[in-house]
Amino acid sequence: MARPLSRRAALGLAAGLAPGLALAACGSDSPAPEGSSSGGGSSGSGSSVGGSAGSGGTRTVRHARGESTVPARASRVVALDTDALDSVVTLGLSPVGATTVTAGAPFPAYLPAERLSGTKPVGAIGQPSLETIAALRPDLILSNQVRDDKRYDELSKIAPTVLSKTTGPTWKENVRLHAEALGRQAEADTADAAYRAKLRDLVTALGGPARAAATRVEMARFLAGAPTRLYLNDTFVGSLFKDLGLGRPANQDKPGFSMEISPEQVDQAAADVIFYAVYGDAAKSDQGKITEGALWKNLDAVRNGRVFRVDDNLWMLGIGYTGAGLILDEIRKDMAPAGG
């Protein structure tokens, strides 16, 4: 029987993987641990060693750890997770610092390189260097409780720090929080309008709402050293499928993070369209065992040539309007009829 994987269990599994694999195996779509604080804590006003506000004045922003007094329009921003990084770039800023998936890794390739040319790496996600961050003299730090709740007080002493509760399926809510903290609500409205227009155009290209709803779409992920995952609705990619009104296999159309399957359970991956990604060394995953087996070859999506490999970094870590727009472009290329 396929095993459902909760968002909490996903973190537990990642913790047991090899260094470097753990974080990206969960991706920035990782869940917040149950029972994590969603309020209270320090005010986050920050006895900042950072630079001055981009424009004069300050504002108070409510977030997962209480309230923070932030510049009216921040200009020196540090982003400590990939969703915050996407937000900062999408809303028109180049961050002064940002974390990377692992130490020494590049910034996400889907973001414009010129926007990150002056951005300094400040350590790995979940393990930022406070000394490096302080040296950048930020006027705002953005992250979430999943990654940085335990160091919130230390970060707030460097600069006002704003945390969302989690990431992944709440990405649009998080962008609104980031925009409020940055003083860039108008830019967020523009990004949201562009996203919704692209959704409408794509649904039309797919043949309309009824045809989209009748097409069962799946996201699978082969992970080195871990079972294969089929992603459920409480994920970033699950939220995109929902926004498009796409159908989902019945066993995946439910709350939760993902379900795990073995090579003997590939019938659980039945769908009309399968998008899949590979994380880590494919030879150390179940990809070969699954895709070379009779169960896989008998799936409707495989027999009909509707299986598409996608970029793991974009689909797992591109959490924001820029990443979402690029994923919608890929879905259109793969699923829409020629000329659609």
Do 139 and 215 share a domain, yes or no? Answer: no
Establish if 275 belongs to a structural domain: yes
Same domain membership, residue 329 and residue 196: yes
Nearest CA to 133 out of 43, 41, 49 is that of: 49
Question: Pick from 183, 215, 238: which residue ends a domain?
Answer: 183
Q: Is the dihedral of CA 26, 140, 164, 32 positive or negative?
A: positive
The count of structural domains within the chain is: 2
pLDDT the model gives residue 25: 54
Neighbours of 132 (CB within 10 A): 14
Within-domain flag for 219: yes
Assess whether 150 and 201 both reside in one domain: no
Residues 202 and 130 in one domain: no
Say if residue 140 is in the same domain as residue 74: yes
162 plus 197 within the same structural domain: no
Do 174 and 211 have their domain in common? Answer: no
Per-residue pLDDT tens listing for the chain (340 residues): 555 555 544 544 443 344 444 455 555 554 332 223 333 333 443 333 333 344 479 999 999 999 999 999 999 999 999 999 999 999 999 999 999 999 999 999 999 999 999 999 999 999 999 999 999 999 999 999 999 999 999 999 999 999 999 999 999 999 999 999 999 999 999 999 999 999 999 999 999 999 999 999 999 999 999 999 999 999 999 999 999 999 999 999 999 999 999 999 999 999 999 999 999 999 999 999 999 999 999 999 999 999 999 999 999 999 999 999 999 999 999 999 875 6
Write out the H or E segment, with its range, that includes residue 240. Answer: helix 236-244
Q: How far apart are CA 38 and CA 44, in angstroms?
A: 14
Crossing angle of helices 185-205 and 171-182, rounded to 10°: 150
What would the DSSP string read from start to end of 179-204?
Answer: HHHHT-HHHHHHHHHHHHHHHHHHHH
Q: What whole-number distance in Å separates Cα of residue 83 and Cα of residue 28?
A: 7
Taking the mean position of all CA atoms in its chain, how far away is CA 203?
A: 23
Q: What is the pLDDT of residue 340?
A: 60
Question: Is the same domain home to 172 and 272?
Answer: no
Same-domain status, 322 and 199: yes
Q: Number of C-alpha atoms within 13 angstroms, CB side, residue 33?
A: 14
- pLDDT for residue 4: 58
**What burial letters (b/e) apply to 244-260, b meaning 16+ CB within 10 Å?**
bbbbbbebbeeebbbbb
Residue 337 has a pLDDT of: 83
Q: CATH number for the domain including 287? A: 3.40.50.1980
The pLDDT score that the predictor gives to residue 72 is: 95
* Amino acid present at 298: N
The pLDDT score that the predictor gives to residue 24 is 52
Query: Residue holding tokens 């260094």?
Result: 19
Domain boundary among 128, 155, 183: 183
Return the bridge partners of 69, or none.
60
Q: Which residue has the tokens 């472009």?
A: 329
Nearest to 152 by CA among 165, 162, 138: 162
End residue of a domain, out of 159, 183, 207? 183
Within its chain, how far is the Cα of 171 from the centroid? 7
CA atoms within 13 A on the CB side of 75: 7
pLDDT at 32: 34
| Longest CA span, the chain | 65
C-alpha span between 310 and 317 (Å, rounded): 12
Sign of CA dihedral 38, 44, 49, 51: positive
Q: 202 phi and psi, to 5 degrees?
A: -70, -40
Domain region containing 207: 192-335
Q: Are residues 155 and 209 in the same domain?
A: no
Specify whether 209 is located in the same domain as 282: yes
